[in-house]
Structure 1
Amino acid sequence: MTTNRRTPLDRKRVADAALDLLNEVGLEGLTLSAIGRELGVKAPALYWHFKDKQALLDEMATEMYRRMVADGGLDPADSWQERLRKSNHGLRAALCRYRDGAKVFTGSRFTGIEHAEQMEDSLRLFTAAGFTLPRAVRAITTTYLYTLGFVAEEQGMVPLPNDPPGGLDIEERARKMAAFPLSAAAGAEIFADYDRHFAEGLEIIVEGIAARHRTA
């Protein structure tokens, strides 16, 4: 862990240090004291910038979003279906870069309005395709919530992409559930190949939105 301790503290520097530390200790171990040690300051110094841990999580989520947007912009040629696929695959990839990334994002409030540009663009795309604003919002937020929930469950098993699955022996689970053969066999489907699992689930939602839109 190397940090330039002569650089003055600001909100971004604290959030950057917290995100770096998050992959080592997880959300439960991410205390203001631990972040202070990383930055070479006492924990009370951080309260000049954040009134409590939730305020810090809000800034961390905002910084995660900034980094996600910096990785790639929106394609104006997207269909609304392509926009949902790309934005949610991008969100999942961004969350999976951090241990407990989904937990940090869930319930946090952005500290700026950087997200408004992409939101406006997506809503404009949907309404141009014939969606009412409420239906456009439901389509976008439903897929967003699916992604958050999926990654939260995924990270409960695989905290970071290169980590081995933890805490579950699928074969042992199947043996314990032998009296319920379909449920036993489902374990290999539920707890493996998360990339395919996510993509197929997202496609189910996109197809459902399309079917509802056709009948609206």
Structure 2
Amino acid sequence: MEPHHRYGRSEVVDRAAHLLDEYGIADLTMRRLARELGLTPGALYWHFADKQELLGAVADRILEPAARPVADATWTARILAIGAALRDALLSSTDGAELVSATFASGRSAVLGRIVAQLVDAAGGAGFEPGTAELAARTVVYYVLGFTADEQSRLQWDAAGALTGTQSVWDSDPNGRFAFGLRLLVDGMSAQRQSGTQDGVDTGVAIPSA
């Protein structure tokens, strides 16, 4: 059997996700993954064109729980639920936010694309035009990624004993702080919805309530 046929694509992604969780994104290299699988680095390219495609597949594995549709809810409840689920998924793996941020920038995560589409649909339900709904959806994702990346960095520094004596309000009640920020975004969207302001231009017409 050819070396690259010893493992299916899903098995390779599983091992890569395990390496990420155990050692972090800095040590998730094609060379290390190949060594863990008992393959040559070149054999991995049978499954993945490059490292970015591999990282996108790992991101999809992490994000899948956050992509489940939120049904029978108001647009505000959907955005809050999707944002919370996305944060939970990112926190489930070491450096999850950093990994997903990289794949978001490169457009390599299909599952993250589905999550953005759900947020766009929710923003559309708030009365935003398609272009503005896309911007609103991505703003929510940027907030969740940024907050969670900071949160994971603080957890790592704390585990290393580097935060001793430097704790502040930013190191307490992360759930409350996250919910506050996400709610602030939703409230801002609601304010624009009521004022009729979109794309930074006051239309002078209030968007009708859904």
Match of 1:34 in 2: 32
Q: How does 1:52-201 map to 2 (within 5 A)?
A: 52-69=50-67, 73-108=68-103, 109=106, 113=110, 119-159=116-156, 164=159, 166-169=161-164, 171=165, 173=166, 188-201=168-181
Structure 2 CA distance, aligned partners of 1:120 and 1:30?
29
Structure 2 CA distance, aligned partners of 1:126 and 1:32?
39
Match of 2:201 in 1: none
55-64 or 140-149, which moves further after superposition?
55-64
Structure 2 CA distance, aligned partners of 1:188 and 1:130?
39
Percent identical residues: 31
List structure 1 segments (4+ residues) > 6 angstroms apart after TM superposition. Answer: none
Structure 1 CA distance, aligned partners of 2:145 and 2:26?
18
The number of aligned residues is 192
Aligned-partner residue type, residue 192 of structure 2? R
Q: Which string of whole-angstrom CA distances, capped at 9 and with x for unpartnered residues, describes residues 143-166 of structure 1?
A: 111000111111111149xx8475
User: Which residue of 21, 25, 37 corresponds with 1:23?
Assistant: 21
CA displacement at 1:132 relative to structure 2: 1.2
CA displacement at 1:200 relative to structure 2: 1.0
TM-score, normalised via structure 2 length: 0.79
Structure 2 CA distance, aligned partners of 1:145 and 1:12?
28
The alignment status of 1:213 with 2:193, answered yes or no, reads yes
Match of 2:200 in 1: none
User: Would the aligned equivalents of 1:157 and 1:167 in 2 still touch at CA under 8 Å?
Assistant: no
Cα distance, 1:48–1:142 mapped onto 2, change above 3 Å? same
Structure 2, unpaired ranges of 5+: 197-210
Structure 1, unpaired ranges of 5+: 174-186
SS at match of 2:49: coil
CA displacement at 1:102 relative to structure 2: 0.7
User: Would the aligned equivalents of 2:79 and 2:122 in 1 still touch at CA under 8 Å?
Assistant: no
Cα distance, 1:166–1:199 mapped onto 2, change above 3 Å? farther
